[in-house]
Amino acid sequence: MTRWTDTMGPLLRYAPARERPGRVLAAMGRLEQASWLDGTIELLRKGVRAVPLGGARDALHGRWLGHPLHPVLVQLPMGAWLSSAVLDRIPGNRRAATVLVGVGIAGVAPAAAAGLADWAELEDEQARVGLAHAVCNVLATTCYAVSLGARLAGRDGRRSALAGLAAAALSGAMGGHLAYRQAAGPNHAEAVHRLVPPGWHDLGEVADLTPGRPVRRTAGAAGDVAVLVLLQPDGTVAALADRCSHLAGSLSEGEVADGCVTCPLHGSTFRLSDGWNVTGPATAPQPVFDTRIAAGRLQIRLRSVEIPDAPEG
C-alpha cells in the first residue's frame, strides 16, 4: 500500500504551492521516512522488550482500560507545567509554581514507561516519529529539572521552564501526529460494526476449510471486511474480524493454540470464542461473528457488542 509520504519528494517539487502540504506536515513526512534512525530504534526496541515486566506490560499498554494508558498519564506533567507557566506570570506565586514544576517532573516516569511500552510495538514509520517525540520529552524534562534546581537555589528558573514548555509543546504535536495521522493507538477493528450489515452472510463451502487451519474470507456490503475463519476439530467454526485491533495485522496468518489466535505482528492474543484480547499490546477486543452451517455452506452474522468475562490472570 502506498503511503502519502512515499511520494512526498515529487509532491513537494511539482505540486502547485496552494496544493502542497504545510511545512509541519512535510516535516513529519520526512521524519516518517528517516530510515537512518532504524538502527537506533531497533536497539532501543530490543532493550524495552527485554525488560522483565510480566503482566505489568499489559497494564502499561492500557489493556485493562480499553485504550492506551500513555495519553492519560501525560496529563499530569503537561498540566502541571502549563499551570506553573501561568503562575510564573502572577506575582507572589513563585513557591506554587516551583511545586508544580516538581510535580510535573515526578509525573514523567510513569508516562514515559507507558509510552515506551507502546512505542516498542509500533511500525517503522511510527517508531521514527515516536523516537523524536521521546527526545523532545527528554529535552523538556531536562529543562524543567534545570528550572527546578535554579528555583530551589533561589534563582529565577523561568527561562529554562519556558524552553521546557516549548519542547513539550513540540512533543505534543508529534504525539498528535502519531495518534491521528499515523493511527498509533486507535482500535483498528472498530469500523467492522459499521461495515457489516445485519443478518447472515455467506462465506462459501465448509468443505473448503481445513480443520485447525485459520483462513481469510471477506464479508460486508462491499465484500471489504476481512474475516478469520477457523474450522475446529469438533466441527464448529469460529470467526473473528481478521484485522488486529492493535495495528491491523492479519490474524489469519497467526498461530492458533489453546482456543486463542496470536497476531503475527506484535503478539496480541485473542480468544476465538468471543474475541477478547487476552494479552496485549492490543487494548481492544476483536469483533466476533456467530456462525452456522446451512446446506454445507458457512454463514456468519456479526455478534452484538458485549463485554466478555476476562480470563483469570
Mean pLDDT (whole number) for 153-166 = 96
| Residues paired with residue 237 on neighbouring β-strands, in sequence order | 231
User: In degrees to the nearest 10, what's the CA dihedral of 259, 263, 267, 272?
Assistant: -20
236 C-beta neighbours (distance < 10 Å), count:
12
Residue 7, pLDDT above cutoff 90: no
Return the CA Rg of the chain.
24
Tell me, which fold does domain 192-302 have in CATH?
Rieske Iron-sulfur Protein (2.102.10)
Average pLDDT over every residue of 252-281: 96
* pLDDT of 17 over the 90 cut: no
C-alpha cell recorded at residue 152:
530551589
Burial class (CB within 10 angstroms; exposed 0-12, middle 13-18, buried 19+) of 210: exposed
* pLDDT of 298 over the 80 cut: yes
Provide the pLDDT for residue 304.
82
pLDDT in the model for residue 306: 61
Longest dimension (CA), the chain: 84
pLDDT tens track for 111-132: 999 999 999 999 999 999 999 9
Each residue of 191-216: pLDDT tens digit? 999 999 899 999 999 999 999 999 99
CA atoms within 13 Å, Cβ hemisphere of 129: 30
DSSP helix/strand/coil, 75: helix
The per-residue pLDDT for 84 is: 97
Contacts of residue 103, Cβ cutoff 8 Å, sequence gap at least 6: 76, 80
